[in-house]
């Protein structure tokens, strides 16, 4: 048996499950987005792009998209910045720093639904942990999840707390992969710490940042447990993200057509952002042989 046939035999089980549980559902959702089935109707009728037109006319979808953009900017950038800062501080392997890594990574291990339940008690008005300590410095009670002006930002803080330690691990691995000779040569040239950080560390971490950025985007588009647990999209839609919008249409409003259509739009947007981030962040990076 030739080596090529052996390779395909080894890959066949993985390819089978990849097609059945990834690519086939994607194609099925895309196909279903061109059909409409009213509640109680047995068969769906082909409507072409009418579902997409109906989706983009829905003001609730526009609100969800706006909230998701604000949520993405307010969580991805700070999470990556905090993760990178932690990686710089904890890059060296010592007993204390290994313990600190475990502490900062711990929120990643907490299920999102459990983290949301925990932070409800943190945000509870008057008696919550946050209001308790703010009262010590003279700041009054705040309805963190009930005020439409700050509810989304309160949920951003939860996401940053949960994800920054996860991104820290990728940055630690990236930092440890940068050769010491670059820093030694820069020191001989008289470069300061911040100059070495700007001209050596950040450019060589471009591929790591691109990868972590995509992971963070996936988190933004696929996290919905905390919305269901903490706010259910409220107050007055201020925390309604796209995935919760899809959940509502599929399970509460029985509008499968709008749910599948918004899913297709979300996947296309995520793929486009991912491709753009890779091309942008890796542009201008050169590697020596």
| Neighbouring residues of 263: CB distance < 8 A, sequence distance ≥ 6 | 29, 33, 246
Q: Can you give the C-alpha Rg of the chain in angstroms? A: 23
Q: How far is Cα 174 from Cα 202, in angstroms, rounded to an integer?
A: 10
Predicted pLDDT of residue 210? 85
Q: What DSSP line would sit under 13-77, residue for residue?
A: HHHHHHIIIIIHHHHHHHHHTTEE--TT-SS-EE-TTHHHHHHHH-HHHHHHHHHHHHHHHHHHH
User: What is the CB-side half-sphere exposure of residue 31 using CA atoms within 13 A?
Assistant: 7
pLDDT exceeds cutoff 60 at 240: yes
Predicted pLDDT of residue 111? 93
Q: What confidence category does residue 138 fall into, taking pLDDT thresholds of 50, 70 and 90?
A: confident
What is residue 144's DSSP assignment?
A: T
Q: What confidence category does residue 288 fall into, taking pLDDT thresholds of 50, 70 and 90?
A: very low
Predicted pLDDT of residue 108? 94
3-state SS, residue 233: coil
Q: How far is Cα 49 from Cα 36, in angstroms, rounded to an integer?
A: 10
Percent of the chain exceeding pLDDT 90 equals 53
Least Cα distance to 73 among 161, 145, 130, 152 occurs for: 152
For residue 157, count CB atoms less than 10 angstroms from its CB and return exposed for 0-12, middle for 13-18, buried for 19 or more: middle
Residue 160's alpha-carbon distances to 71, 78, 181, in angstroms, are 11, 7, 34
What average pLDDT does the structure give for the chain?
Answer: 89
Q: What confidence category does residue 254 fall into, taking pLDDT thresholds of 50, 70 and 90?
A: confident
Cβ(264)–Cβ(56) under 8 Å? no
Owner of token pair 């059945």: 20
Domain spans of the chain, in order of start: 48-281
What would the pLDDT profile of 29-62 be if each residue is shown by its tens digit? Answer: 999 999 988 766 778 888 889 999 999 999 999 9
Predicted pLDDT of residue 281? 62
What would the pLDDT profile of 223-239 be if each residue is shown by its tens digit? Answer: 889 999 999 998 999 99
Q: How far is Cα 10 from Cα 145, in angstroms, rounded to an integer?
A: 51
Q: Which of 32-46, 59-73, 135-149, 263-277 has the lowest mean pLDDT?
A: 32-46
Percent of the chain exceeding pLDDT 70 equals 95
Q: How far is Cα 30 from Cα 25, in angstroms, rounded to an integer?
A: 9
Q: Provide the CATH number for the domain formed by 48-281 in this structure.
A: 1.10.3720.10
Q: Please give the torsion angle defined by the CA atoms of residues 163, 167, 168 and 171, in that order, rounded to the nearest 10 degrees.
A: -170
Paired with 169 in beta bridges are none
Q: What confidence category does residue 289 fall into, taking pLDDT thresholds of 50, 70 and 90?
A: very low
What would the pLDDT profile of 172-192 be if each residue is shown by its tens digit? Answer: 999 998 888 888 898 888 888
């Amino acid at each position: 048996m030739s080596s090529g046939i052996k390779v395909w035999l080894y890959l066949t089980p993985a390819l089978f499950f990849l097609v059945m549980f990834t690519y086939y559902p994607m194609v099925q959702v895309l196909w279903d987005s061109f059909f409409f089935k009213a509640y109680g109707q047995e068969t769906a009728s082909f409507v072409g792009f009418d579902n997409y037109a109906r989706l983009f006319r829905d003001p609730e979808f526009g609100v969800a998209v706006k909230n998701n953009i604000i949520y993405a900017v307010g969580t991805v950038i700070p999470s990556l910045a905090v993760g990178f800062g932690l990686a710089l501080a904890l890059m060296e392997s010592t007993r204390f720093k290994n313990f600190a890594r475990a502490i900062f990574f711990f929120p990643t291990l907490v299920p999102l639904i459990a983290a949301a339940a925990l932070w409800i008690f943190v945000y509870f008005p008057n008696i919550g942990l946050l209001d308790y300590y703010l009262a010590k410095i003279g700041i009054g009670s705040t309805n963190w999840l009930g005020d439409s002006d700050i509810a989304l930002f309160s949920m951003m803080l939860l996401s940053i707390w949960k994800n920054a330690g996860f991104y820290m691990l990728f940055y630690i691995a990236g930092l440890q992969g940068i050769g010491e000779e670059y820093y030694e040569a820069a020191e001989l040239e008289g470069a300061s710490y911040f100059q070495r950080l700007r001209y050596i560390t950040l450019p060589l971490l471009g591929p790591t940042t691109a990868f972590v950025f995509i992971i963070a985007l996936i988190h933004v588009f696929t996290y919905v447990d905390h919305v269901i647990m903490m706010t259910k999209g409220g107050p007055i839609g201020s925390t309604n993200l796209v995935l919760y919008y899809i959940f509502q249409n599929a399970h509460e409003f029985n509008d499968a057509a709008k749910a599948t259509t918004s899913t297709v739009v979300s996947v296309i947007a995520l793929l486009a952002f991912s491709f753009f981030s890779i091309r942008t962040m890796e542009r201008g990076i050169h590697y020596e042989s």
